Amino acid sequence: EIEHSCGFIRHAAAAAIEPNGIVLATMDPGRQNYARRVPHGVVGIISPFNFPLVLSVRAIVAALATGNAVVHKPDPRTPISGGIIIARLLEEAGLPAGVFHVVPGGIEAGEALCTDANIAMVSFTGSASAGSR
């Protein structure tokens, strides 16, 4: 999980410094298509119990690299490997205070995250039944 997480971190860091975004393929000669990532504000991230580090990091670093603040709710079975360790690493890396928060908890915490008016976008990785709640 650590090796894969490092790969996601490197990819997000590289994407964050692309001045024009990512060039996409086009069928139209003489034209170029670009995909630019733009911040939305505060992104809520809900991650699962399986592969708690890599599946959390994948969403967290993508959101941070595009200029968003993050509120992360790891699965209740993995609050340390899926949340607290990531918070400590980001703090040690110099992420400013207040940009990343971990909210441990179960269904109630996830529902609160999804219905909070201050959350502009939610990234959810998990089962369809959990996501439909």
- Contact, 52 vs 101, CB < 8 A? no
Distance, CA of 20 to CA of 55 (rounded, Å) = 27
Distance, CA of 63 to CA of 43 (rounded, Å) = 7
Topology, domain 2-132: Aldehyde Dehydrogenase; Chain A, domain 1 (3.40.605)
HEC assignment per residue over 57-125:
HHHHHHHHHCCCEEEEECCCCCCHHHHHHHHHHHHHCCCCCCCEEECCCCHHHHHHHHHCCCCCEEEEC
Q: Which two tokens stand for residue 101?
A: 């928060």
Distance, CA of 133 to CA of 123 (rounded, Å) = 14
Close Cβ partners of 131 (under 8 Å, ≥ 6 residues apart): 124
Note the pTM of the prediction, 2 decimals. 0.84
Average pLDDT of the residues of the chain: 90
Task: Using the predicted structure, report yes or no on whether residue 111 has a pLDDT greater than 90.
Answer: yes
Q: Where are the domains of the chain?
A: 2-132
Task: Using the predicted structure, report yes or no on whether residue 5 has a pLDDT greater than 90.
Answer: no
Which among 107, 37, 39, 109 has a CA at the least distance from the CA of 72? 109
pLDDT tens, 15-65?
Answer: 777 766 778 888 999 898 888 888 999 999 999 999 999 999 999 999 999
